[in-house]
């Protein structure tokens, strides 16, 4: 237990330093241009954020999202996105985009606008594999076929739970459970990968409640199930008054139950949270960008990372749109990481994808030594047992990611609260 505590404590320190460094550093547009133009002959990922959702918003949600009250808001937002996309197309001189991910919010809130964005991205970057997140409430009237006709490769459907008491506890406004299942079945086979998102670790969860949702998910035969731990930042306690982060011993029990259920239903972890059908091979929906060192974020609150450089866009749609109209860009904060911090960043994302890549280039001797040591330790741990069944190792990686993402959610909460 103490090793887990130590890991969690160390990650918290790293995350705090990173978030406070990022928040206190205003952007430098010239530096931004320099980094984007400096990407040479490389595959990078592109993330596009759609910040609107149907009302009521889910209480447990930590993403940057706003209720869509007027159709025109989405249209104005999309036209700013198109300008920002154009800027990146002009400035990403030698880089090629290897994958595009639409996250939110609810990207499927207006499918015809989504289609225009996809067409434009394809015209600039070619026929890149596209992943789209969705809320089943936007998929009730044949929209799945519309998405299929947009040639989307991977569809992710936010379900969160198949138990009404859990949905209520999360403050999630959902379709009836049976309707959600019908929508999932309708989507199966129409995309290369259908993923469903589930949440665990909410107040009142037990081994039984977590296993129940896992079994219901696997029985549907989806290609992939992502089990997110709930990760509210501390200041969210007002909207989630009974939320208490589970003690490690309790959480580990739930995680073990999840993993054992996963393996017994013919699935395996591709990351500590993402369970894929073994027969399917790896078709991972890579929300946490474990396959790329560098990624560009477009839209409200999106984060990008190129080498040592990390930036985040404005968090508030009106501010975002104003900034894009004026400068074609909407960066609100950016930071240049030291070599060690960057190596830690890259190692962590690589480990979360259950692999460890060699550094693209030797950043500095110290970070290379650090990288090699982690590589050695990781391989030793993996050789002790099949990585996909190694509960202590997977739990440790979960803990690191959860701590980092709670930090990211703190950043999002601050960004929304203070309209950065």
The residues of the shown chain that bind ligand SF4, judged by CB under 6 A, are 53, 57-58, 61, 63, 65, 104-106, 135, 158
- State which residue, 239 or 362, has the beta carbon closest to ligand SF4: 239
- Whose Cβ is closer to ligand SF4: residue 4's or residue 405's? 405
The CB-of-233 to ligand SF4 minimum distance in angstroms stands at 14
Judge whether 81 and 297 are in contact, CB under 8 Å: no
Q: Rounded to the nearest whole angstrom, what is the least distance from the CB of residue 271 to ligand SF4 in the complex?
A: 20
Minimal distance, residue 412 CB to ligand SF4, in Å: 11
CB of 312 to ligand SF4, least distance (A): 18
Identify which of residues 44 and 62 has a Cβ nearer to ligand SF4 in the complex. Answer: 62
User: CB-based contacts of 165: which residues, under 8 Å, 6+ apart?
Assistant: 204
CB nearest ligand SF4: which residue?
Answer: 61
Identify whether the C-beta of residue 300 lies closer than 8 Å to the C-beta of residue 406: no
CB of residue 167 to ligand SF4, shortest distance in Å: 11
Question: Toward ligand SF4, which CB reaches closer, 238 or 249?
Answer: 238
Nearest CB to ligand SF4, comparing residues 97 and 111: 111
Nearer to ligand SF4, 84 or 133 (CB): 133
Instruction: Please state the closest distance from residue 58 (CB atom) to ligand SF4, in A.
Output: 3
Q: CB of 366: closest distance to ligand SF4 in angstroms?
A: 40
The minimum distance between CB 65 and ligand SF4, in angstroms, equals 5
In contact, 300 and 320? CB cutoff 8 Å = yes
Nearer to ligand SF4, 105 or 233 (CB): 105
The residue (of 158 and 359) whose beta carbon lies closer to ligand SF4 is 158
Q: Minimum distance between the CB of residue 135 and ligand SF4, rounded to whole angstroms? A: 4
Q: Is the Cα torsion angle 284, 290, 296, 302 positive or negative in sign?
A: positive
Q: Which residues does 278 contact at the CB level (< 8 Å), separation at least 6?
A: 266, 267, 268
Pick between residue 27 and residue 104 the one whose CB is nearest to ligand SF4: 104
Residue 62 near residue 231, CB atoms below 8 Å = yes
């Amino acid at each position: 237990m103490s090793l887990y505590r130590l890991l969690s404590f160390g990650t918290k320190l790293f995350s705090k330093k990173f978030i406070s460094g990022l928040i206190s550093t205003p952007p430098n547009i010239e530096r931004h241009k320099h980094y984007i133009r400096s990407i040479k002959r490389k595959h990078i990922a592109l993330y596009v954020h759609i910040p609107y959702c149907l009302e009521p918003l889910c209480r447990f949600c930590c993403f940057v999202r706003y209720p869509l009250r007027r159709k025109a808001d989405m249209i104005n937002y999309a036209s700013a996105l198109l300008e920002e996309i154009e800027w990146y197309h002009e400035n990403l001189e030698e880089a090629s985009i290897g994958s595009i991910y639409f996250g939110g919010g609810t990207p499927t809130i207006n499918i015809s606008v989504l289609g225009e964005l996809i067409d434009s991205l394809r015209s600039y970057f070619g026929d890149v594999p596209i992943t789209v997140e969705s809320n089943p409430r936007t998929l009730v009237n044949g929209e799945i076929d519309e998405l299929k006709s947009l040639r989307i490769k991977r569809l992710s459907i936010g379900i969160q739970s198949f138990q009404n008491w859990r949905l209520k506890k999360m403050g999630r406004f959902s379709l009836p459970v049976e309707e959600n299942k019908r929508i999932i079945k309708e989507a199966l086979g129409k995309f290369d990968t259908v993923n469903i998102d589930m949440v665990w670790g909410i107040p009142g969860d037990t081994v039984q409640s977590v296993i129940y949702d896992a079994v219901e998910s696997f029985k549907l035969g989806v290609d992939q199930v992502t089990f997110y731990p709930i990760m509210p930042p501390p200041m969210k306690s007002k909207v989630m008054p009974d939320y208490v982060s589970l003690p490690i011993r309790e959480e580990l029990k739930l995680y073990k139950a999840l993993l054992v259920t996963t393996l017994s239903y013919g699935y395996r972890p591709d990351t500590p949270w993402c369970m894929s059908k073994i027969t399917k091979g790896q078709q991972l929906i890579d929300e946490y960008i474990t396959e790329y060192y560098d990624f560009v974020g477009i839209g409200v609150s999106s984060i990008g990372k190129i080498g040592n450089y990390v930036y985040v866009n404005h968090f508030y749609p009106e501010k975002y749109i104003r900034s894009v109209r004026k400068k074609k860009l909407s960066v609100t904060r950016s930071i240049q990481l030291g070599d060690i911090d960057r190596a830690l960043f890259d190692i962590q994302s690589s480990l979360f994808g259950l692999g460890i890549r060699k550094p693209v280039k030797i950043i500095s001797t110290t970070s290379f030594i650090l990288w090699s040591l982690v590589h050695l330790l990781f391989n030793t741990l993996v050789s002790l047992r099949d990585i996909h069944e190694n509960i202590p190792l997977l739990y440790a990686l979960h803990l690191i990611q959860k701590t980092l993402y709670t930090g990211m959610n703190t950043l999002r909460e601050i960004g929304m609260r203070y309209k950065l």
